[in-house]
Chain A
């Protein structure tokens, strides 16, 4: 059942080459081949958003994308987003606001939030809409919306 393909792509700012099985999805590749376990798998049918990563800057279900499809792309996972410091304010706000409990959905939520806040200052309703592709079973979402709203306000100056 193996059908290997060579891929080369940018992962968290560094180039990666690998031979991957055609059927291997990106989430499994990140988690089990590259040991980047911050990307989580919740449903493997593209609903829950726990596996969201950024592919060429867009939040993407890594369970619905095959590893071969990232050939030539820029992929950012929670590990890279953390190391670069680009979502440090979001991470600090999530911690301060207790916008996570079990933390399983959080890396995916942060990928969505990172994309949402790129150049935008969304309203509370827009934040809720954007988060509709990220299931959270613990928080009830209120604290997550608060945390993102706070960061949106700070990034665009002034109070949220």
Chain B
């Protein structure tokens, strides 16, 4: 068993071989007899009253089976409303699958056309007539905050959906006593996830059995089963949700989307299988958005470069409705609570307000708010370093929080247990050869080449437990469960509540189970993503798969091993303690010859149990659950660095190099972990340099296509160097922390500090993300004027 341990090895994913052969099975690939297709008529107005909807002409179009409005669906589907127990002011009006009476964002679904093909359904949407009465629009978040602003929905009395403060120590006094104070304003444009596979759902309802089966491109099938059952008033056991292969999710596929609820409702209403696959244009106006925030930040530092206080004010944009069921507050709360999390700092004052707007709802996007807090902190640190004439790396080195204790908290209340910031920092400077880069930077500047070096230390909240949503009364499970079965042929079936959209968590679980049991990894089969086949649990959110799902699997494997050895002991008339399992065979520690196989154990237990001389036959199917309950989450940490070059004539930015040193605890599979980090980094670079949903003041999305909404391309991205420090968490026996969001938490901040470092000779500090060439040139021009 020690000779060929899988844990810690860079094993390729089994699924990958299927996917490279084009044998993926995504929701739109599934064939169903008699399938109907849904196309939606969506609101072209950000805010309008629906005065009249005329569907008769559409209903007469070829291939059309039904044309349905919000009122039609209301007969079957109950309204829903996000309610957060601890934040009662975060409330938008009850929501339905399609707008009734009033549309509140451009892109909200109004009418569903159901036809025998998608093309025919789309043809018929053009014959739906809607009489609109335009209503005042609130698009800009600062406009939404004005006292006399119109309301986003006529059932609301105010657009304010969150007003939250944090106060630790005495920030006021700290600022008065500071040797240096710096401040800056930050703007983060709206982004969206752009999963390459758009949202897709296939719903089938069997009226005989009253059973609803949903295939859904989604991260959390158990959550969606709970929601479909509740809204359609079906017993939970009559609903099955299956997430097959999913073509990218990134948090975007965590929400219950109204148009997807509409599809499930239509299946029940028509008693026919129906499918909806968002096209790219409607994805831009109906997928949840994220990140929109304006921040003003101040930082106080003493003469020795010790960080003493921060004062942060965040204004966040929620969109038209609070995302269901998790709400839209996460981004804003993290943006303020996560500031300065990696640093010793006694005083923090923060205020965060969030406003509803006539735009698509905002929701979860990889790293939720943490990139905002990291960017604000790291950029202010760089400004302070300049004022003190200190090297930015040295300033950080002086301020990392002492993380030896398990009970440490940051000023914003962030858990800091067992971290390794100083070690990560030192490793990073060595990896990137920081001193040489600084030297070269000076030489390049003399030649009119403006390069910048940016650092960003970060804390990543991973493996989030039940206190986050449980305390809010939100039914999003934080528990992960593994059901491990010894099959009759001696193979191991591992059914897990976590889901895998390509992260490779299935492979990591197989590695853990294979090692803990002592079996060949090829004999471990993973079942995931199907509520009927897997035990209840969270799925994929908040970087939990390996850390929590892996822990549950490890615990189950150890118990199953105990059962197997108990039975083997009885059959071999040996103490179980003297037996071990290697390569799926039972050995007596005294002999090099295998005594029997796992298949022998299974065969005996399942077909000839009378031969086992035990009063109770130990279970060969074990279910174990795990959720961190002593801590709200398991914190991970790391540091990132970017090297960029700014063309001050063109305003363009080239990322020359990028480094990450990450500590996600015990690394189960480096090949998987490194690619999580690299993928996350590129999403952060995209946020800093390219990605923005451009809205006019009239609430119209001006760049809602993949031609106009820029995402990182291969030619623009650098190679990304990744290294690890491994500090196993004591919160689990496995010791793994999450890693899925690490790259995204810090990458944008590293780009901010690098670009602004490059622009230091011009006295320019950019303040609006993304750093488009236009914004770079505008900032340089404003400085020259």
Contact = CB atoms under 8 A, between A and B. Distances in A.
B15 A103 contact: yes
A125 B24 CA distance: 29
A23 B119 CA distance: 9
Interface in B693-730: 705-707, 711-715, 717, 719-720
Given A42-B196, A136-B196, A98 B504 contact: yes
Contacts of A137: 193-196, 248, 250, 679, 683, 711
Interface in B661-678: 671-672, 675, 678
Contacts of B501: 101-102
Nearest to A82: B21
B675 A101 contact: yes
Contacts of B250: 137
B719 A142 contact: yes
A131 B20 contact: no
Nearest to A130: B714
A135 B713 contact: yes
B715 A131 contact: yes
How big is the B interface, by class? 35 or more
Contacts of B247: 40, 102-104
Nearest to B713: A132
28 contacts: A1-B62, A1-B123, A23-B119, A37-B25, A40-B26, A42-B197, A43-B706, A45-B280, A45-B707, A82-B22, A94-B20, A95-B12, A98-B504, A98-B672, A101-B248, A102-B197, A102-B502, A103-B16, A106-B20, A110-B20, A127-B714, A134-B714, A139-B682, A140-B675, A140-B680, A140-B720, A141-B717, A143-B678
A50 B196 contact: yes
A-B residue pairs, 9 tightest by C-beta:
A38-B22, A103-B19, A101-B502, A104-B247, A78-B22, A140-B682, A131-B714, A37-B29, A102-B502
Contact of B711 (A39, A101, A135): A135
Nearest to A95: B16
A60 interface: no
Given A103-B19, A103-B20, A140-B675, 18 more contacts: A31-B29, A37-B29, A38-B24, A45-B706, A50-B196, A94-B20, A98-B504, A100-B20, A100-B502, A103-B15, A103-B24, A128-B715, A135-B196, A139-B675, A140-B712, A140-B717, A141-B712, A142-B678
A129 interface: yes
B682 A104 contact: no
A141 to B, nearest CB: 4
Most B CB within 10 A of own CB, among A23, A96, A102: A102
Contact of A104 (B24, B123, B503, B717): B24
Contacts of A59: none
Interface string B310-348: 000000000000000000000000000000000000000
B714 A94 contact: no
Given A1-B123, A138-B502, A102 B20 contact: no
Nearest to B720: A142
A39 B682 CA distance: 25
B19 A98 contact: no
B13 interface: yes
A94 B250 CA distance: 22
Interface in B485-537: 501-504
B23 interface: yes
Contacts of B13: 95, 98
A131 B269 CA distance: 45
Most A CB within 10 A of own CB, among B19, B22, B120, B503: B22
A50 B711 CA distance: 14
B31 interface: yes
B245 interface: yes
Nearest to A129: B715
A149 B502 CA distance: 22
Given A138-B248, A143-B678, A91 B21 contact: yes
Interface in A113-157: 125, 127-129, 131-132, 134-145
Nearest to B682: A140
Contacts of B270: none
A144 B678 CA distance: 11
A104 B26 contact: yes
A145 B714 contact: yes
Given A101-B503, A102-B197, A134-B714, A44 B21 contact: no
B20 A98 contact: no
Given A47-B706, A137-B195, A100 B19 contact: yes
Contacts of A36: 22
A79 interface: yes
B280 A103 contact: no
A95 B679 contact: no
Interface of A: 1, 21, 23-24, 31, 35-45, 47-48, 50, 77-79, 82, 90-91, 94-98, 100-107, 110, 125, 127-129, 131-132, 134-145
A39 B705 CA distance: 21
Contacts of A101: 248, 501-504, 675, 679
A79 B504 contact: no
A61 B585 CA distance: 52
B682 A141 contact: yes
Interface in B282-311: none
A41 B250 CA distance: 19
A48 B20 CA distance: 17
Contacts of A100: 16, 19-20, 502
Contacts of A78: 21-22
A38 to B, nearest CB: 2
A36 B502 CA distance: 22
Contacts of B671: 97-98
A77 B22 contact: yes
A129 B717 CA distance: 10
Given A37-B29, A95-B13, A95-B16, A138 B280 contact: no
Contacts of B682: 139-141
Given A44-B279, A45-B280, A140-B682, A104 B197 contact: yes
A74 B719 CA distance: 36
B171 interface: no
Interface string B610-648: 000000000000000000000000000000000000000
A82 B714 CA distance: 24
Contacts of A24: 119
Given A42-B196, A131-B714, A131-B715, A98 B21 contact: no
Given A102-B247, A140-B679, A47 B707 contact: yes
Contact of B197 (A38, A40, A142): A40
Nearest to B669: A98
Nearest to B19: A103
Given A91-B20, A110-B20, A141-B714, A102 B245 contact: yes
B246 interface: yes
A143 B671 CA distance: 10
Contacts of A127: 714
